[in-house]
């Protein structure tokens, strides 16, 4: 007879103490292993990031984005789990770049975990310094949701990508991508959302990816329809589908920087061209031209300096090809991976001639406090997500775009790890949804607590001049105060855990960003937490954009009661 406690069973199942790679899956159900649900939620989401069905390379603790990790090393992962298991309900765990550094006595209503990843003093904030610190075992790259334990698989970026292509279609093609071909690169944890996002908007896409395993993974999870290693075949398939106005996504197994120039030579110019390779990381995220993937992986280890040099050359070629396609009629936009910034360093002086996706298609949503509202079911039961989907559609029937998204998501999206969902909600909507979710848990309609978080890519949480804050109206693109204020607001508001990172999807020194995750466990205390956090978190986005001079944000502030002292906007 087994008399082990839930905690002992968990330690055995996760092989805690092994100190090396092994499969990790989040515990599910209603049994607590920790001393409270806030700690339990953090533990489950940490494990979920490394679920082989979710993370991109969990053996190396890499979740997505080239080198974005959930823990610094396996010993640190073990220590994180042990720390969360013993953490009291009035204590806070400090995590420094993927390592549990200490536990402090705080209060029951404060965050249980505070996380800082890859933050380097600005003068030294560059990849060379980071890599030196990383090699010394002193630092970890957290990307955005990797090191903040709220990655939910490719779905996490899917709706944002869907929203971006929908906004592009509205601006350029009468709100419909039918008959249009989108060309892009990258089918990793973020880029893998692109094919389904395009077909959900009725378009055709060719997604260039050099790694056959990534292509197969997207086919297996139904994000990608088909694949080919032959460029002519990919072009022919795309043209045929576009002519028939049939949505289709094609994975082209090739190097993007080689494929795009060949397309131009063949006279193929897509309707839209973008890219979501991990170009922000020239060593771990991008593959040089002229060598196979296997050769590239070897060169990455044996001669990293040569690898970086060749990768930067390839990115310059890649960016020039996008510029050439734009000059020949394609609509071009940067999808936030810093390809333009890398090419600029390599002498492509007109690299910034095509816009980033935020100023081109998303900023008006930010002015409404809109952003990526995501949640995961700690029960492990997909039925809990179906219940929350239905509840949101009932609560916000006027958001027809969101309702359409949720219906399609329920039909087309395979869960990766813990069942989860995402949709974009604005200021005044997120807190309403948080209360709704807490009520669902309290009533038993949802079987176990829900965690509510978001991507760091949000309306008020990022300072990133090549992405979220590119081209701000008042020129405040590089002002990092807003991201810090967002982080502090979420701590003060009582989020379950809060994180602050450097780098995100654009690389060390190019962005500062904050994240929050908050638990809905059905209690009155949780209702206060979720409504406060989910009101104030997007509230910083309204304030940030109103301060920058966007009239829409100022109107929203006035309509919804956000106080702006400098504009004398008090009720």
Strand 204-209 vs strand 272-273: parallel, antiparallel, or unpaired?
unpaired
∠ CA 16-44-513, nearest 5°, is 110
DSSP tag of 414: P
Query: Looking at the DSSP assignment, which residues form a beta bridge with residue 198?
Result: none
Q: Pinpoint the alpha helices (H) of 105-154.
A: 127-135
Distance CA 40, CA 35 (A): 8
- The HSE-up count of residue 33 (CA atoms within 13 Å, CB side) is 25
Catalytic residues: 423
Q: Which residue has the tokens 């790890």?
A: 417
3 state DSSP class of 57 = strand
Task: Identify any residues that bridge with 273 across adjacent strands, giving them in sequence order.
Answer: 183, 332
Q: For residue 376, how far is the Cα from the chain centroid?
A: 14
Other CB atoms within a 10 A radius of the CB of residue 134 amount to 18
The answer to whether the beta carbons of residues 194 and 209 sit under 8 Å apart is no
Taking every pair of Cα atoms in the chain, the longest distance, rounded to a whole number of angstroms, is 73
Q: How far apart are CA 313 and CA 282, in angstroms?
A: 10
Six-digit token pair at 421? 């969902």
Q: Do residues 443 and 411 make contact, with C-beta atoms less than 8 angstroms apart? A: no
> Which residue has tokens 């997007």?
538
| Upper half-sphere CA count for residue 174 (Cβ side, 13 Å) | 3
């Amino acid at each position: 007879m087994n008399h082990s406690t839930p905690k002992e069973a968990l330690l055995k199942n996760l092989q805690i103490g092994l100190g090396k790679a092994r499969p990790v899956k989040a515990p599910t159900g209603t049994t607590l292993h920790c001393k409270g649900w806030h700690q339990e939620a953090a533990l489950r989401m940490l494990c979920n990031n490394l679920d082989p069905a979710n993370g991109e390379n969990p053996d190396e603790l890499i979740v997505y984005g080239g080198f974005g990790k959930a823990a610094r090393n396996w010993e640190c992962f073990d220590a994180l789990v042990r720390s969360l298991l013993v953490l009291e309900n009035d204590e806070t765990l400090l995590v420094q770049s993927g390592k549990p550094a200490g536990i402090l006595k705080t209060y029951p209503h404060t965050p249980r975990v505070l996380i800082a990843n890859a933050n380097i003093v600005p003068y030294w904030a560059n990849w060379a310094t980071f890599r030196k610190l990383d090699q010394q075992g002193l630092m970890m790259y957290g990307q955005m949701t990797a090191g903040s334990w709220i990655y939910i698989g490719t779905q996490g970026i899917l709706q944002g990508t869907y929203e971006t292509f929908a906004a592009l279609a509205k601006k350029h093609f009468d709100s419909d991508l039918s008959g249009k071909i989108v060309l892009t690169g990258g089918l990793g944890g973020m880029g893998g959302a692109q094919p389904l996002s395009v077909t959900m908007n009725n378009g055709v896409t060719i997604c260039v990816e050099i790694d056959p395993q990534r292509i197969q993974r997207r086919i297996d999870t139904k994000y990608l329809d088909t694949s080919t290693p032959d460029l002519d075949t990919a072009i022919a398939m795309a043209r045929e589908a576009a002519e028939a106005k049939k949505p289709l996504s094609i994975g082209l197994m090739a190097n993007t920087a080689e494929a795009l120039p060949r397309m131009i030579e063949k006279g193929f110019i897509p309707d839209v061209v973008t890219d979501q390779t991990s170009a922000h990381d020239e060593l771990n995220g991008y593959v040089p031209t002229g060598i196979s993937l296997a050769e590239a992986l070897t060169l990455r280890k044996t001669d990293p300096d040569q690898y970086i040099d060749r990768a930067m050359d390839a990115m310059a070629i890649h960016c020039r090809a996008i510029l050439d396609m734009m000059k020949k009629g394609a609509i071009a936009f940067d999808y936030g991976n810093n390809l333009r910034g890398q090419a600029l360093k390599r002498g492509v002086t007109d690299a910034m001639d095509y816009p980033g996706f935020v100023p081109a298609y998303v900023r008006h949503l930010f002015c409404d406090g809109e952003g990526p509202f995501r949640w995961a079911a700690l029960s492990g039961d997909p039925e809990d997500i179906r219940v929350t989907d239905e509840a949101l559609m009932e609560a916000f029937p006027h958001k027809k775009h969101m309702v359409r998204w949720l219906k399609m998501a329920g039909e087309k999206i395979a869960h990766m790890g813990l069942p989860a969902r995402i949709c974009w909600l604005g200021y005044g909507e997120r807190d309403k949804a948080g209360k709704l979710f807490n009520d669902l848990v309290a009533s038993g309609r949802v079987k176990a607590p829900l965690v509510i978080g978001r991507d760091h890519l949000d309306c008020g949480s990022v300072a990133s001049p090549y992405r979220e804050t590119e081209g701000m109206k008042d020129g405040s693109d590089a002002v990092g105060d807003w991201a810090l204020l967002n982080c502090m607001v979420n701590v003060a508001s009582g989020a379950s855990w809060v994180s602050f990172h450097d780098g995100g999807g654009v690389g060390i020194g190019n962005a500062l960003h904050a994240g929050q995750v908050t638990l809905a466990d059905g209690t009155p205390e949780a209702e206060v937490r979720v409504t406060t956090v989910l009101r104030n978190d997007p509230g910083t986005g309204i304030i940030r954009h109103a301060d920058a001079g966007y009239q829409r944000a100022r109107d929203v502030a006035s309509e919804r009661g956000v106080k702006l002292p400098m504009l004398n906007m008090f009720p």
